Amino acid sequence: MARNIGADRNGDVYRAVIQFTNRNGQQWTEHEGPYAKPAAARARVTFWTNRMACSGGSATGHIEKATTTWERV
């Protein structure tokens, strides 16, 4: 199924990199994105930080930027 996302255009895209720790101490990292604006990726880090705090765990993260160039194949 086709969809329209921020990576559909040329230029910079952003993703959230989130490090999780559950209440048992288990740790893992996940990536969310791409997003067209850094604020959208940053909002995902904030969301997971707040969500994990409510469940007895924790989350921290940062955003990363990549540049996309689409070319005909």
51, 71 Cβ separation under 8 angstroms: no
Could you state, in order of their start, the residue ranges of all structural domains in the chain? 10-67
Which of the four pLDDT bands, split at 50, 70 and 90, describes residue 71? confident
* Sign of the Cα pseudo-torsion (48, 11, 6, 34, in order): negative
Q: What residues have CB less than 8 Å from 69, skipping those under 6 apart?
A: 10
Which of the four pLDDT bands, split at 50, 70 and 90, describes residue 19? very high
Residue-wise pLDDT tens digits, 27-55: 999 999 999 899 999 999 999 999 999 99
Q: What residues have CB less than 8 Å from 1, skipping those under 6 apart?
A: none
